[in-house]
Structure 1
């Protein structure tokens, strides 16, 4: 099976984990701090602004808590986004307000975000679809002008930049995902960023039960009764650990070569499919933008998209669509909305395999099989059934 996502792990990651085992300190410790510093340097932030956490989803929930969202608050977000973002907002009692997206980039424009703002808007929460930075600079400027907070879901954008600025650092808060399907993999895990130092300090405390001290062992060096608790805020346990952080450090070192290979795969698809009838390719990155090449998506006639996906699966090629529009989910109370860009994307978009483990033969196979499936289904949409 040629998978749509696939991590690349090897001897270096095993050696890093072995070192953690040998140290006999598996929890939140020195390797966690090291990875936080390394990731902070990668995005151009101070290490104190970055917290290594156990998942991007946990970071989204932490962001809504730091923003003190609740009933009566609105949060604008693109309908084409991961369910975790809407869940994090809705769980507070605040209302997710969905905006449309450009069906080519699947990212919202600043104008689309602005059109969804209400008098009760407290924050905007944007996704960088597939690692494309999108209209993030203009959206950040809009949020500053309107006095609303900007949260970046940079789960797909670990190496993405608009100009010299890393995605995730345009806004007030940001999260990244390092789960088993992402570009940088720690198994489970994520990073949380806060622009404001005080919010960053509070995030770090809330990520570990609201405790002011991260461990009794470290507190023993400065207190004669180190076992006593000092809790001012009610937190939970969402911190990362040294095992996954050690993997993350190795993966961060591999990131440039992995991104380079993913770019090669995307460019090869561009070349092989440029004249494929019935296949529309993703738009090129704007000048000055750098992507993470997390998704490679094509747009097909909605009459054949699903059958093409099934045909490819029969040929050993797994494809998918992410993310189904959230305004169609009844739980969020927005099924009355009509968002034509998001709806068009949901009916036409298909993600092709894209990861650094693909060899040139795999890429050619995917492109050739896609061509044949589209041609066959376009000639006979029912497939002779």
Structure 2
């Protein structure tokens, strides 16, 4: 089976894990802090503004907690988002309000967001679809003008930027995912960025039970009663650990090569699938935009999309679609009219894209996809 996503883990990662084992400490510790510092360099921000967590979902939940949502507060987000974003909003007392997207990029535009802003809007959550930055700069400006907090869901955009500015740092809060299907993998893990330093400090506290500081070995160097706790507020246990951070540090070193390969695969698909009748390819990136190339998506006639996916699966090629529109999910069903989102959900298909694909596999995917489309259109 040619997988849709697949991590790239090797001897360097094994060696890093072995060092953690040798040190007899796999929990939150110095490697976690080192990974935060390295990722901060990657983004071009200060490490004090970053917190390594056990998932991007945890980062979204903390982001919504930092918003201080109350009953009646609305949070705008594109309907073609993962369920974690809507869950975080609702669990923290807010009301998700869904906006549409550009029909070609599948990212929301400032106009899409502006249409659903109200006086009750507390925040906007934007997703960088497939790693493409979208109009994040314009949405950031809109949010500043309206006095609305911007949260960037950069789960797919670990190496995406606009004119050299990293996605995830345009907003007030940003999150990245390092789960087993992402480009940079820590098995499970995520990062939270907070522009406001006090928000970053509070997020760190909330991520570890609400404690101002730990009561373990490090505290013993500072106090004769290091076992006592300084509890500021109730919190969670969302912290990352040194085992995951060791993987992340190695993966971060390899990230430029990962993205280079993914970019080459996307270019191959562009060439191999150009001119196939009934198929629309992803739009070219605007000048100054850099994508992590997490997804490669194609559009076909909605009447044959599912049959094409089934035929590809039978031929050993796994495809999928992200993301089923949230305004159609029973829990979040709404009367929102979002034509671009709904059309995308019926006609879009993700082709395999990961740095482990070789050129022969890429050609196989393109050939099988082309044959499936031609068969079902005939």
Scaled to the shorter chain, the TM-score interval is over 0.9
1:233-272 CA-to-partner distances (Å, cap 9, x unmatched) read 1111100000010000000000000000000000000000
Question: Which residue is equivalent to 1:82?
Answer: 82
| CA distance in structure 2 between the aligned counterparts of 1:247 and 1:296, rounded to whole angstroms | 26
Instruction: Supply the distance in 2 between the matched residues of 1:355 and 1:249 (Cα, whole angstroms).
Output: 19
Contact preservation (8 Å) 2:74, 2:120: yes
Deviation at 1:333, TM superposition (A): 4.3
How far is 1:214 from its partner?
A: 2.9
Deviations 1:133-180 (A, max 9, x none): 000000000000000100000000000001121000000011100000
Can you give the 5+ residue segments of structure 2 that lack an aligned partner in the other structure?
A: none
* Alignment partner of 1:343 is 2:356: no
Q: Give matches, 1:325-364, under 5 Å.
A: 325-334=325-334, 336-364=335-363
Q: Which whole-Å CA distance do the structure 1 matches of 2:249 and 2:153 have between them? A: 21
Matched-pair contact (CA < 8 Å) for 2:149–2:171 = yes
Aligned partners of 2:70 and 2:234: how far apart in 1? 16
Q: Does structure 2 conserve the Cα–Cα contact (< 8 Å) formed by 1:3 and 1:353?
A: yes
Structure-2 residue corresponding to 1:41 = 41
Aligned mates of 1:54, 1:39 — CA distance in 2: 15
Q: Partners in 2 of 1:333 and 1:312 — Cα distance?
A: 31
Report the TM-score, using the length of structure 1 for normalisation.
0.97
- 1:382 corresponds in structure 2 to none
In 1, are the aligned partners of 2:214 and 2:229 still within 8 Å (CA)? no
Superposed counterparts of 1:181-200, under 5 Å: 181-200=181-200
Residues 309-367 of structure 1, C-alpha deviations (whole Å, 9 max, x = no match): 00000000000000000011221241x11100100100000000000000000000000
Please give the secondary structure, in 1, of the residue aligned with 2:318.
Answer: coil
- Is the deviation greater in 55-64 or in 210-219? 210-219
Within a 5 Å distance, the mapping from 1:241-260 to structure 2 comes to: 241-260=241-260
Alignment of 1:52 with 2:32, yes or no, is no
Provide the C-alpha distance between the structure 2 equivalents of 1:366 and 1:216, rounded to a whole number of angstroms.
Answer: 52
Give the superposition deviation at 1:281.
Answer: 0.1
- Length-normalised TM-score, structure 2: 0.99
| Contact 2:215-2:229 within 8 A present in 1 as well | no
Measure, in 2, the Cα distance between the counterparts of 1:70 and 1:245: 34
Question: 1:226 aligns to what?
Answer: 226
1:216 aligns with 216
In the alignment, what sits opposite 1:237?
237
Q: After superposition, what is the alpha-carbon deviation per residue over 1:45-75, rounded to whole angstroms, capped at 9, x for unaligned?
A: 1111011100000111011101111211000
Q: How far, CA to CA, are the matches of 2:57 and 2:93 in structure 1? A: 17
SS at match of 2:308: helix
Alpha-carbon contact 1:90-1:332 (below 8 Å) kept: no
Residues in 1 aligned to 2:157 and 2:240: alpha-carbon distance in whole angstroms: 20
Separation in structure 2 between the aligned mates of residue 92 and residue 205 of structure 1, nearest angstrom: 17
> Counterpart in 2 of 1:271?
271
Whether the 8 Å contact between 1:71 and 1:92 is mirrored in structure 2 is: no
- What is the match of residue 117 of structure 2? 117
Query: For residue 170 of structure 1, what is the aligned residue in structure 2?
Result: 170
**Residues in 1 aligned to 2:72 and 2:220: alpha-carbon distance in whole angstroms:** 44
SS of 2:5's equivalent? coil
Question: 1:298 maps to which residue?
Answer: 298
**What SS does the aligned partner of 1:141 have?**
helix
Look up the match of 2:132.
Answer: 132
Matches of 1:250 and 1:216, distance apart in 2:
28
Per the TM alignment, residue 187 of structure 1 is displaced from its structure 2 partner at its CA by 0.3
Question: Does the residue aligned with 2:230 lie in a helix, a strand or coil?
Answer: coil
Question: Cα RMSD between the aligned structures?
Answer: 0.7
* Contact 2:326/2:333 (8 A) holds in 1: no
Task: Render the CA deviation track for 1:100-158: whole Å, top value 9, x for unaligned.
Answer: 01121110001100111011000000100000000000000000000010000000000
Give structure 1 regions of 4+ aligned residues with deviation exceeding 3 angstroms: none
Kept after mapping to 2: 8 A contact 1:194/1:200: yes
1-structure distance, mates of 2:64, 2:271: 42
In 2, the alpha carbon distance for the partners of 1:261 and 1:330 equals 39
